[in-house]
């Protein structure tokens, strides 16, 4: 399992982030430029995101945190704090 500096398991980030985006695994994979199988493996703890994908996940959270939807902002900020602490 891959862990962030905070000790949080990075695989546990994938499904909540995908849900926050309102995307299927296939759509999420296309957005990140990876395969459906890759996203499925991340969500089921059979593989961990590579550094480039991890940076893309963070960028996606930052983008959502600037959303006009307050509930999405709150969730994105919490995920950023948990998985990408400064």
The whole-chain average pLDDT of the chain stands at 91
Query: How high is the pLDDT of residue 47?
Result: 95
Q: Which domain holds residue 70?
A: 11-83
Question: Does residue 3 belong to any structural domain of this protein?
Answer: no
Whichever domain contains 51, its CATH number is: 1.10.260
Residue 3 pLDDT greater than 60, yes or no: no
Is 4 contained in some domain?
Answer: no
**What integer pLDDT is reported at residue 8 of this predicted model?**
60
pLDDT at 9: 84
> Contact at 8 Å (CB) between 57 and 13?
yes
Task: Please determine, for residue 26, whether its predicted confidence score (pLDDT) is greater than 80.
Answer: yes
Let me know if residue 68 belongs to a domain.
Answer: yes
Task: Place 7 in a pLDDT band, splitting at 50, 70 and 90.
Answer: very low
Strand stretches in 5-58, DSSP E: none
């Amino acid at each position: 399992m891959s862990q962030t500096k905070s000790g949080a398991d990075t695989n546990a980030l994938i499904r909540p982030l995908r849900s926050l985006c309102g995307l299927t695994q296939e759509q999420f994979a296309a957005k990140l430029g990876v395969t459906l199988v890759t996203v499925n493996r991340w969500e089921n703890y059979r593989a961990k995101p590579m550094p480039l994908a991890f940076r893309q996940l963070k960028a996606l959270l930052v983008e959502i945190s600037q959303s006009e939807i307050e509930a999405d902002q709150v969730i994105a900020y919490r995920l950023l704090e948990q998985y990408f602490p400064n």
